[in-house]
Amino acid sequence: MQDIIQGKAYVLGDNIDTDQIIPAKHLVYSLSDPEERKLYGKYAMSGVPDAAAGLPQGNVRFVPENDHRSPFQIIIGGKNFGCGSSREHAPEAMQIAGIQAVAAESYARIFYRNSVDGGFFIPFETTQRLIGEVKTGDDLEINVPKGTLTNRTSGKTYSLRPLGDVLEIIKAGGVFAYARQAGFLKS
Protein backbone atom coordinates (compact mmCIF):
# COMPACT_ATOMS: atom_id res chain seq x y z
CA MET A 1 0.00 0.00 0.00
CA GLN A 2 1.36 3.40 -1.01
CA ASP A 3 1.50 6.10 1.66
CA ILE A 4 1.15 9.04 -0.73
CA ILE A 5 -1.13 9.11 -3.76
CA GLN A 6 -0.79 12.06 -6.10
CA GLY A 7 -2.66 12.97 -9.22
CA LYS A 8 -5.10 15.15 -11.08
CA ALA A 9 -8.73 15.26 -10.06
CA TYR A 10 -11.74 14.24 -12.13
CA VAL A 11 -14.91 15.39 -10.42
CA LEU A 12 -18.26 13.60 -10.75
CA GLY A 13 -21.64 14.00 -9.05
CA ASP A 14 -23.96 11.85 -6.90
CA ASN A 15 -25.24 8.34 -7.67
CA ILE A 16 -22.66 7.58 -10.34
CA ASP A 17 -23.79 4.07 -11.27
CA THR A 18 -21.74 1.33 -12.84
CA ASP A 19 -23.62 1.63 -16.16
CA GLN A 20 -22.18 5.14 -16.43
CA ILE A 21 -18.72 3.96 -15.39
CA ILE A 22 -18.71 1.27 -18.07
CA PRO A 23 -21.82 0.94 -20.27
CA ALA A 24 -23.19 -2.57 -20.66
CA LYS A 25 -22.46 -2.91 -24.37
CA HIS A 26 -18.73 -2.89 -23.57
CA LEU A 27 -18.88 -5.74 -21.06
CA VAL A 28 -18.05 -8.25 -23.77
CA TYR A 29 -14.29 -7.68 -23.97
CA SER A 30 -11.90 -10.15 -22.41
CA LEU A 31 -10.31 -9.09 -19.13
CA SER A 32 -7.66 -11.80 -19.43
CA ASP A 33 -6.30 -10.64 -22.77
CA PRO A 34 -3.65 -7.97 -22.12
CA GLU A 35 -4.42 -6.02 -25.31
CA GLU A 36 -8.19 -6.38 -25.35
CA ARG A 37 -8.57 -5.37 -21.70
CA LYS A 38 -7.31 -1.91 -22.66
CA LEU A 39 -10.72 -1.32 -24.25
CA TYR A 40 -12.15 -1.08 -20.74
CA GLY A 41 -9.84 1.86 -20.10
CA LYS A 42 -10.83 3.41 -23.40
CA TYR A 43 -14.55 3.34 -22.53
CA ALA A 44 -14.27 4.07 -18.79
CA MET A 45 -16.80 6.77 -17.77
CA SER A 46 -18.16 6.90 -21.31
CA GLY A 47 -21.71 6.55 -19.98
CA VAL A 48 -21.60 9.72 -17.92
CA PRO A 49 -23.89 12.35 -19.51
CA ASP A 50 -21.70 15.04 -21.11
CA ALA A 51 -22.91 17.85 -18.85
CA ALA A 52 -21.88 15.88 -15.76
CA ALA A 53 -18.51 14.69 -17.09
CA GLY A 54 -15.73 16.52 -15.23
CA LEU A 55 -17.38 19.07 -12.94
CA PRO A 56 -17.85 21.94 -12.53
CA GLN A 57 -17.91 22.84 -16.22
CA GLY A 58 -18.69 19.38 -17.65
CA ASN A 59 -17.90 18.13 -21.15
CA VAL A 60 -14.43 16.96 -20.08
CA ARG A 61 -13.52 13.59 -21.52
CA PHE A 62 -12.20 11.20 -18.90
CA VAL A 63 -10.05 9.39 -21.46
CA PRO A 64 -8.83 11.18 -24.60
CA GLU A 65 -9.98 9.77 -27.91
CA ASN A 66 -7.88 6.84 -29.18
CA ASP A 67 -6.31 6.31 -25.76
CA HIS A 68 -6.98 3.98 -22.85
CA ARG A 69 -5.24 5.96 -20.12
CA SER A 70 -6.83 8.93 -18.43
CA PRO A 71 -4.91 12.13 -17.64
CA PHE A 72 -6.75 12.03 -14.26
CA GLN A 73 -5.66 9.73 -11.43
CA ILE A 74 -8.04 10.57 -8.58
CA ILE A 75 -11.83 10.68 -8.81
CA ILE A 76 -13.88 12.90 -6.55
CA GLY A 77 -17.46 11.71 -6.15
CA GLY A 78 -20.58 12.54 -4.19
CA LYS A 79 -23.06 10.19 -2.56
CA ASN A 80 -23.64 6.52 -3.39
CA PHE A 81 -20.73 6.20 -5.81
CA GLY A 82 -20.77 2.98 -7.85
CA CYS A 83 -24.43 2.07 -7.33
CA GLY A 84 -26.30 -0.32 -9.59
CA SER A 85 -24.93 -3.37 -11.33
CA SER A 86 -22.37 -5.53 -9.52
CA ARG A 87 -20.06 -5.58 -12.55
CA GLU A 88 -16.47 -5.69 -11.34
CA HIS A 89 -15.61 -4.39 -14.81
CA ALA A 90 -16.38 -0.94 -13.32
CA PRO A 91 -13.53 -0.60 -10.81
CA GLU A 92 -11.32 -2.59 -13.14
CA ALA A 93 -12.00 -0.23 -16.06
CA MET A 94 -11.11 2.68 -13.79
CA GLN A 95 -7.87 0.97 -12.78
CA ILE A 96 -7.00 0.21 -16.39
CA ALA A 97 -7.54 3.91 -17.18
CA GLY A 98 -5.03 4.70 -14.43
CA ILE A 99 -7.20 5.63 -11.43
CA GLN A 100 -5.35 5.25 -8.15
CA ALA A 101 -7.95 6.41 -5.66
CA VAL A 102 -11.53 7.59 -5.37
CA ALA A 103 -12.67 9.97 -2.66
CA ALA A 104 -16.46 10.07 -2.38
CA GLU A 105 -18.98 10.92 0.31
CA SER A 106 -20.38 7.39 0.29
CA TYR A 107 -20.35 4.23 -1.82
CA ALA A 108 -22.74 1.54 -2.92
CA ARG A 109 -21.45 -1.51 -1.15
CA ILE A 110 -20.87 -3.96 -3.98
CA PHE A 111 -18.68 -1.42 -5.79
CA TYR A 112 -16.84 -0.60 -2.57
CA ARG A 113 -16.27 -4.24 -1.86
CA ASN A 114 -15.15 -5.01 -5.42
CA SER A 115 -12.63 -2.14 -5.34
CA VAL A 116 -11.13 -3.47 -2.12
CA ASP A 117 -11.36 -7.22 -2.72
CA GLY A 118 -10.03 -6.92 -6.25
CA GLY A 119 -7.24 -4.61 -5.05
CA PHE A 120 -7.98 -2.08 -7.82
CA PHE A 121 -7.63 1.16 -5.83
CA ILE A 122 -8.56 2.53 -2.43
CA PRO A 123 -12.11 3.90 -2.09
CA PHE A 124 -11.80 6.68 0.50
CA GLU A 125 -14.81 8.20 2.22
CA THR A 126 -14.67 11.94 2.68
CA THR A 127 -15.92 13.72 5.80
CA GLN A 128 -17.44 16.55 3.80
CA ARG A 129 -18.68 17.13 0.29
CA LEU A 130 -15.70 17.85 -1.96
CA ILE A 131 -17.65 18.50 -5.15
CA GLY A 132 -17.33 22.28 -5.45
CA GLU A 133 -14.19 22.29 -3.29
CA VAL A 134 -12.23 20.44 -5.96
CA LYS A 135 -12.36 21.17 -9.67
CA THR A 136 -11.54 18.77 -12.47
CA GLY A 137 -7.83 19.15 -13.21
CA ASP A 138 -6.81 20.26 -9.69
CA ASP A 139 -3.63 18.72 -8.28
CA LEU A 140 -4.41 16.43 -5.37
CA GLU A 141 -2.37 14.55 -2.81
CA ILE A 142 -3.76 11.87 -0.51
CA ASN A 143 -1.75 11.03 2.59
CA VAL A 144 -2.93 7.53 3.48
CA PRO A 145 -1.44 7.14 7.00
CA LYS A 146 -2.63 10.62 8.00
CA GLY A 147 -6.01 10.17 6.32
CA THR A 148 -5.95 13.53 4.55
CA LEU A 149 -6.58 14.84 1.07
CA THR A 150 -4.84 18.06 0.05
CA ASN A 151 -5.90 20.14 -2.92
CA ARG A 152 -2.54 21.55 -3.93
CA THR A 153 -4.19 23.86 -6.40
CA SER A 154 -6.23 25.63 -3.70
CA GLY A 155 -3.94 24.82 -0.79
CA LYS A 156 -6.76 23.34 1.33
CA THR A 157 -6.57 20.06 3.25
CA TYR A 158 -9.55 17.82 4.08
CA SER A 159 -9.82 14.81 6.34
CA LEU A 160 -10.84 11.36 5.13
CA ARG A 161 -12.68 8.71 7.15
CA PRO A 162 -10.61 5.89 8.63
CA LEU A 163 -10.62 2.80 6.40
CA GLY A 164 -11.85 0.64 9.29
CA ASP A 165 -12.59 -3.04 8.66
CA VAL A 166 -11.31 -3.13 5.11
CA LEU A 167 -7.85 -1.81 6.01
CA GLU A 168 -6.63 -5.38 6.58
CA ILE A 169 -7.77 -6.44 3.11
CA ILE A 170 -6.27 -3.34 1.49
CA LYS A 171 -2.97 -3.94 3.31
CA ALA A 172 -2.97 -7.57 2.23
CA GLY A 173 -3.54 -6.45 -1.37
CA GLY A 174 -6.97 -7.96 -1.99
CA VAL A 175 -9.27 -10.72 -0.85
CA PHE A 176 -7.11 -13.60 -2.09
CA ALA A 177 -4.14 -12.49 -0.01
CA TYR A 178 -6.52 -11.88 2.89
CA ALA A 179 -8.01 -15.38 2.59
CA ARG A 180 -4.49 -16.80 2.58
CA GLN A 181 -3.74 -14.96 5.80
CA ALA A 182 -6.96 -16.35 7.29
CA GLY A 183 -5.69 -19.84 6.39
CA PHE A 184 -8.42 -20.65 3.83
CA LEU A 185 -5.99 -20.89 0.97
CA LYS A 186 -2.61 -22.47 0.62
CA SER A 187 0.06 -19.92 -0.28
Partner 1 sequence: MGMTMTEKVLARHAGRTRVAPGDNIWVDVDILMTHDVCGPGTIGIFRKQFGPTARVWDREKVVIIPDHYIFTNDQHAHRNIDVLRTFVKEQDLPYYYDVGTDKYKGVCHIALPEEGHTRPGEVLFGTDSHTCTAGAFGEFATGIGNTDAALIMGIGKLWVKVPETMRFEFEGPLPPYLMAKDLILHIIGDIGMDGATYRAMEFAGDGVMSLSIEERMTLCNMVIEAGGKNGIIPTDAVTEAFVKSKTAKPYQPVADDRDARFHSVRRYKTADIQPTVAKPHSPDNRGTARECTGTRLDRAYIGSCTGGKLNDFIAAAKILKGHQVKADTYIVPATTEVAKGLATTRLDGQTLIEIFQQAGAKISQGASCAACLGGPSDTFGRLNKSEVCISTTNRNFPGRMGSKTAQVYLASPYTVAASAIRGEITDPREFL
Name the residues that contact partner 1, by CB under 8 A.
15, 17, 19-20, 23-25, 27-32, 47-49, 79-80, 83-89, 91, 106, 108-110, 113-114, 117-119, 165, 174-176, 178-179, 182, 184-185
In whole angstroms, how close is the CB of 123 to partner 1 at the nearest point?
Answer: 13
Nearer to partner 1, 151 or 178 (CB): 178
In whole angstroms, how close is the CB of 36 to partner 1 at the nearest point?
Answer: 9
Q: What letter does residue 102 receive in the DSSP assignment? A: E
Distance, CA of 93 to chain centre: 9
Distance (Å, rounded) from C-alpha 99 to C-alpha 7?
Answer: 9
Nearer to partner 1, 137 or 174 (CB): 174
Backbone angles phi, psi at 111, to 5 degrees: -65, -45
Q: Of 133, 39, 120, 146, whose CA–CA distance to 77 is shortest?
A: 133
In whole angstroms, how close is the CB of 86 to partner 1 at the nearest point?
Answer: 4
CA 10, 120, 112, 93 dihedral sign is: positive
Collapsing DSSP to helix, strand or coil, 130 comes out as coil
Nearer to partner 1, 18 or 136 (CB): 18
Nearer to partner 1, 146 or 161 (CB): 161
In whole angstroms, how close is the CB of 77 to partner 1 at the nearest point?
Answer: 12
In whole angstroms, how close is the CB of 164 to partner 1 at the nearest point?
Answer: 10
Could you list the beta-strand ranges (E) of 2-100: 4-11, 74-77
